[in-house]
Structure 1
Amino acid sequence: MTALAMSPTARPQRAVLRLHRPALTVWGAFQLLVVGALLWVHLFRAPAAREDHFASYFVLTDVNNIMNFLGEVLSYVSVAVAAWAGAALTGRELESGTARLAWTQSVTPARWLTAKLTAAAVPLTAGTTLLALLFAWIWTTDQDVLVTNWSWDRVLVPAGPMSVALVLFALAVGTLAGVALGRALPALAVAAGITYAARYFFGRKWDNIWPDRHFWPVQLTATAVLLALTALAVVAAFALLGRRTDIKGAAV
């Protein structure tokens, strides 16, 4: 099936989308669930908290608990992206040999990797941007009933462009790990670990580190650094893939 998907007459991006349709379905379902939960908070839970400050407390419907939970989930989605990119997007195909089969059908290694990155980056960027805008709007609009501070990682990470940069960084790191290791499980572990470390570092409580900093300076600085690291990881992945295929081609 993979060989047919990568036939010379087909566009590589379209083939990648067909191959990873289950992952796209999961990503779409995840977005719908989060959007529904955020709108439920804004339309029902926040107004209820305003109307009755002395209402009986229930952990599963408390507006702060829901927003904190959604913020944590959104701030760590990059780790899942890194694991998927390392294992399924690149590592598994290199390990099984299906990538090399595609390269024999007029799809160069560079074009193969470009198709992989493009097909994944577009829905990830669009979806993460939507979730970031919605989360930031609801957190700002309903701030009168929320006790969280902008510098808390469960707000800082998902409420701005840093969330998009972190997901793209995860995609690049996962791709690089898959190309470098050529095996699904090791690439998954390495990519997830590196992305978790990056999320921890960039999502730390900035009010304890730089008390005079504000939301946008922190967001833009972190975003710029993450995008620079993303570019380096992508360049490294292409360079390593080209070097390995050139060496193997010369050996043959």
Structure 2
Amino acid sequence: MSAPTLRPPAPAVPSRSVPAPLRPSGLTWTVLRLHRAALLAWVAALLVAGAVLTWMYVIAPDAGVAGGPCAIPPVDGLPDCATVDAMTTDDLYDAGLDLIATALSYLMVPVAAWAGAALIGRELEDGTAQLAWTQSVTPVRWLATKLAVPAVLLTAGTAAVVLLHVGVRRDGNGNLLGPWYDSDIYLSIGPTAAAYGLAGLALGALAGLVLRKALPAAGAAFAVTLALSHLMQALRPSLWPTTTITGRTALDLPPDVLVLEHGVVTSDGRRIGNDLACVGSETQAQLRACMKNSRLSDFWATVHPESHFWPLQLVESGVLLAVAGAAAAASFTLLRRRTA
């Protein structure tokens, strides 16, 4: 009987642990996940805006024809008026650009309502914010992330739509675009669009911290931002020094000039505002006769030419960013006092 052969045990092969898949973590990811519905709505809105503006860019040449001159019968390259009258491309073009301009100009209001209700107010009302503060997240860091994440997304998305909107308008028909000083157009082709959004975000957060309930905070933020929008619209002409035009030029101002006041100078040197005397004079002889009969010596107009667009935009953006900064500072001060 043979003895069993003894073999030394095989050396143990060290087991290789499978690394766990990397998953996003941290407070930033928590904010994005908690408010994913708002994030998806924002992305969807940006995609819709991009699609509309791309379509407006495509139909811009046809819109120019539909809203341009015509002839009966067609001559010198002008299309037939019956064909032009049957076209509706210019109406679609106007409606598309107006939709984007209006949405950008009133972006601050829904942003403020969302910030007051969902971003801050609901978490304070439900106690989820207080629970986070008992963990490793300080109240200041919690609020800073709550404001920083949507601020970055809001600024980037708004800037992209504004740039695309400006590009579409630049390649469009000037007769269809409207004046630069129209409120909706003005707010949708410059940095004020993003500044209004940031002001709405900060004011909404402050309303949420003050009221600590979702619905009251949303209502208060909505009302405050709407009032701010109307206030800035009223103050806008005074944000930059105006230009005064005198002489015959004051009677025949180009359409790209924002006229604030129009008046005349009497023979005794008095200035009378908002007097449209002699405006309809077509010839120099008619103008001189009208001035003599009306006892006028000159005409004047107080205006903002198109060259004032960027100064007005930058000053208004600065005011709005100051409002946003003040609201954010007040929010942090209030939070520190309540959690001290």
For Structure 1 versus Structure 2, the TM-score category normalised by the shorter chain is: 0.7 to 0.9
Residue 47 of structure 1 corresponds to 61
| RMSD of Structure 2 on Structure 1 (CA) | 2.0
In the alignment, does 2:37 pair up with 1:22? yes
Residue 199 of structure 2 corresponds to 169
CA deviation map 1:165-217 (0-9, x unaligned): 10000000011110111011111011111111222233457436572252111
Aligned residues: 237
Q: How far is 1:142 from its partner?
A: 1.1
2:57 and 2:335 map into 1 onto residues whose CA distance is 47
Find the partner of 2:304 among 212, 220, 234: 212
Scaled by the length of structure 2, what TM-score is found? 0.66
Scaled by the length of structure 1, what TM-score is found? 0.88
Instruction: Choose 192-201 or 207-216, whichever is displaced more.
Output: 207-216
1:199 and 1:135 map into 2 onto residues whose CA distance is 21
Percent same amino acid at aligned positions?
41
One-letter amino acid of the structure 2 residue matched with residue 196 of structure 1: L
Residue 11 of structure 1 corresponds to 26
Indicate the SS of the match to 1:69: helix
CA deviation map 1:110-144 (0-9, x unaligned): 01101101111111010011111111221222142
Residues 1:62 and 1:10: Cα distance change in structure 2 (over 3 Å): closer
Q: How far is 1:10 from its partner?
A: 4.5
Find the partner of 1:69 among 99, 122, 138: 99
Contact 1:49-1:145 within 8 A present in 2 as well? no
2:48 and 2:175 map into 1 onto residues whose CA distance is 22
Extract unaligned runs of 5+ from structure 1: 1-8, 247-252
Map of 1:93-172 to 2, 5 A cutoff? Answer: 93-172=123-202
In the alignment, does 2:246 pair up with 1:231? no
Extract unaligned runs of 5+ from structure 2: 1-23, 69-83, 238-257, 261-301
Residue 108 of structure 2 corresponds to 78
Q: How far is 1:12 from its partner?
A: 1.1
**Hey, which of these two has a bigger chunk of strand by percent?**
2
Select the structure with the greater relative contact order (CA < 8 A; seq sep ≥ 6): 1
Residues 1:57 and 1:196: Cα distance change in structure 2 (over 3 Å): farther
Q: How far is 1:62 from its partner?
A: 2.8
**Hey, which of these two has a bigger chunk of helix by percent?**
1
Q: How far is 1:105 from its partner?
A: 0.7
1:144 and 1:48 map into 2 onto residues whose CA distance is 13
Residues 1:36 and 1:203: Cα distance change in structure 2 (over 3 Å): farther
CA deviation map 1:6-46 (0-9, x unaligned): xxx942111111101110000000000011101111112x1
Contact 1:59-1:65 within 8 A present in 2 as well? no
Contact 2:64-2:172 within 8 A present in 1 as well? no
Q: How far is 1:227 from its partner?
A: 0.5
In the alignment, does 2:123 pair up with 1:31? no
One-letter amino acid of the structure 2 residue matched with residue 178 of structure 1: G
One-letter amino acid of the structure 2 residue matched with residue 166 of structure 1: Y
